[in-house]
Amino acid sequence: MFFLRTFTCSSIYLLHRMKSAMSIGLWYPNEPLIYSIILLVSMGIGVMVFIMLFFVKAGYGRHMDGHWGPKMNTHLGWFIMELPTIVIMLLCFGLSDKKTSITHYAFLMIWFIHYAHRVFIYPFRIKNGKKITLTIVAMGFFFNLVNVYIQGRWLFTLSDAIYADDLLFNFSNADYTTIAWLYTPQFIIGTIIFAVGYFINKQSDYILRNLRKPGEENTYKIPTGGLYRLLSCPNYLGEILEWVGWAFLTWSIAGMYFAIWTVANLLPRAISHHKWYKKTFEDYPENRKAIIPFLL
Ligand SMILES: NC(=O)c1ccc[n+]([C@@H]2O[C@H](COP(=O)([O-])OP(=O)(O)OC[C@H]3O[C@@H](n4cnc5c(N)ncnc54)[C@H](OP(=O)(O)O)[C@@H]3O)[C@@H](O)[C@H]2O)c1
């Protein structure tokens, strides 16, 4: 009994200490410097991944072969992979002093418009007979963890002027501390690009999802309608537009980092999908490009 009471009291005390230490600003000593290094290294990895993905296809969906190790349930895999985007973003917000800032609520809302769907709806609507590999889930989980840390810590803490000199380089001159940020051209243009991207992404994923009728979980068909009139992968174009919009509306290197990683992940995959469609379907429409209308 004594042991239990001591354990409970010390846990509460420790949690309280952790919360008050974290909520006043930095999560650990030298965080702005380490944050800058994480961003730089991860940006370098993003460029390498971009080049690599022209030679190695990420092993999920139609490009899955036997080399990616053990597998798990696809719905659960997607859910686990995307979950950090919600949990860590809420932590970054909850442990900050921005809980009365309208501009920061706007960022949070835009982030959640995408990720609430990606975490709680998309994984459970996938119509797929295949399993997903643990390697892909682990890689996606780790990418999301680093990315949400970079976005969340920037938006809710490290963008504060007091940390500007501790960062390795100037991440942005944007001032999010007043509502005036919401009227800037960067925010307005970025939000429009994000909204257009969101619509294209959701519409295109919806079209794909409805290609498979019950019992056809492993078959592929030629998608039609929407931007599929012009492209093989409009869902990827939409996703890229969303994060390019985010880079604009946050006007930050953190936002740019996400846009670059999205291009690195999805552009080579769109080209692989496009080649696969042309090889698989003899009657595949000649005029379709991979991801950029009339160009690529
Ligand atoms: N931000 C990022 O870096 C990032 C990275 C990856 C994905 N995403 C997003 O996550 C979502 C899913 O990505 P994904 O790579 O899985 O997209 P995808 O390859 O286009 O597949 C999406 C879903 O549609 C099915 N499908 C695709 N083409 C089909 C066809 N011709 N006939 C019937 N079913 C078809 C797929 O089944 P199969 O699985 O059986 O092929 C899968 O369930 C997209 O919105 C994408 O933008 C974002």
Residue 243 lies in a domain: yes
pLDDT tens for 191-209 read 999 999 999 999 999 999 9
Q: Whose CA is nearest to atom 33 of ligand 1?
A: 220
Q: Whole-model pTM?
A: 0.92
Query: How far apart, in Å, do the first and last CA atoms of the chain sit?
Result: 69
From start to end of the chain, where are the E strands? 71-72, 132-133
Residue 114 lies in a domain: yes
What is the domain range of residue 191? Answer: 36-280
Residue 264: closest CA among 240, 235, 229:
240
pLDDT lower than 70: segments of the chain: 1-24
Query: What contacts 18, CB < 8 A, 6 or more positions away?
Result: none
Ligand 1 atom having least distance to the Cα of 217: 40
DSSP string spanning 3-64?
A: HHHHHHHHHHHHHHHHHHHHHTS-SSTTHHHHHHHHHHHHHHHHHHHHHHTTTS--SSGGG-
Cα–ligand 1 centroid distance for 255 (angstroms)? 23
Residue 236 lies in a domain: yes
Best probe residue, ligand 1, of 208, 212, 261 (max atoms within 8 Å of C-beta): 208
Per-residue pLDDT at 23: 53
Per-residue pLDDT at 247: 98
The response to whether residue 236 sits with its C-beta less than 6 Å from ligand 1 reads yes
Q: Whose CA is nearest to atom 4 of ligand 1?
A: 262
Best probe residue, ligand 1, of 73, 236, 273 (max atoms within 8 Å of C-beta): 236
Per-residue pLDDT at 5: 54
Per-residue pLDDT at 8: 46
Residue 219 lies in a domain: yes
Query: What contacts 224, CB < 8 A, 6 or more positions away?
Result: 207
Cα–Cα distances in angstroms (integers) from residue 241 to residues 149, 197, 198, 201, 266, in the given order? 21, 5, 8, 9, 12
Residue 22 lies in a domain: no
Best probe residue, ligand 1, of 50, 62, 218 (max atoms within 8 Å of C-beta): 62
For tokens 């982030």, what's the residue? Answer: 111
Residue 1 lies in a domain: no
Per-residue pLDDT at 2: 46
Query: What contacts 215, CB < 8 A, 6 or more positions away?
Result: none
Cα–ligand 1 centroid distance for 24 (angstroms)? 41
Cα–ligand 1 centroid distance for 291 (angstroms)? 14
Residue 17 lies in a domain: no
Q: How many domains does the chain have?
A: 1
Using an 8 Å Cβ cutoff, are 223 and 208 in contact? yes
The response to whether residue 201 sits with its C-beta less than 6 Å from ligand 1 reads yes
Cα–Cα distances in angstroms (integers) from residue 166 to residues 32, 115, 257, in the given order? 6, 30, 19
State residue 167 phi and psi, 5-degree precision: -80, 155
Residue 196 lies in a domain: yes
